[in-house]
Amino acid sequence: MASKAAYKRLSKEYVAMQKEPPPFVWAAPDEKNILTWNYIIRGPPDSPFAGGEYHGVLLFPSEYPFKPPGIKMITPSGRFQPDKKICFSMSDFHPGSWNPAWSVATILTGLLSFMLSDEMTTGSVTSTDAEKRAYAARSHSWNLQQKRFKEAFPEYCTPAVRDLPNMAQKERGVSPAPATTSSPSPAPPAQTPSQAPPAQPAAAATSEKAVSRSPNGMNSPGDHAAQGWAAGLRQVIWEKWRWGVILALALVVSRMSSE
């Protein structure tokens, strides 16, 4: 049974795995026991494991993160003995070298790196690159026949091998494939009267819709400016002319009265 510290830590790491999965790796805890995690490692394209799909388990102690997990790879790979514990620096074979700051992502990234090396250890096997490629080619069909794989990763039980969330597209300079499904975007929150933008004045709205014509028949904002300026000038001249006529008439009447 997981301790409170282990449960809290592993729950946090599952959230982190979903947000930022490491390249070629995916993992999730067992629904009934958070101390048991199933993982998938995909073979990098520039390795003898290219195209391979490798299922395994991480067996965490109740004292995690203060003690390291046991690590197994179940899918035959030509690198590790199927369903046997693997000895490397992040496994329970080496509790003295364990660092509590390491996480599920760190462990599986280290396991992938170790898998790509030629170092022999407890749980490893010797095979040629050709044999590793042969194991990789039939790894997915092998996984589909395994009850543990089907229960742990039903979404990966497809006729063709499926990419993990992170296939190192960025690192390899490859554009990620478009998502086949997408969730609808959340609707924007309704605006309250205090949040709503002020209504535009009628004059401003009208001016935005007003249209003038350029010589080629298209609308031009420059023509609006010219027409407005000419109209203003005519208004000024008319006002001055009207007052001039009134003053002249007043002067004539004043002279006739004085005579």
What is the set of active-site residues? 87
Alpha-carbon 250 to chain mean position: 83
Asked whether the beta carbons of 227 and 210 are under 8 A apart, the reply is: no
Beta bridge partners of 41: 25, 54
Paired tokens of 93 = 């074979």
Taking the CA atoms of 86, 92, 98 and 104 in sequence, report the sign of the dihedral they define. positive
Spatial separation of the C-alpha atoms in residues 143 and 139, rounded to whole Å: 6
Report DSSP state, residue 56.
E
Cβ count near 154 (within 10 Å): 9
Asked whether the beta carbons of 214 and 223 are under 8 A apart, the reply is: yes
C-alpha dihedral, 58 to 63 to 67 to 70, nearest 10°: -20
Q: Which one-letter amino acid corresponds to residue 138?
A: R
Max Cα distance, the chain (Å) = 135
Report DSSP state, residue 10.
H
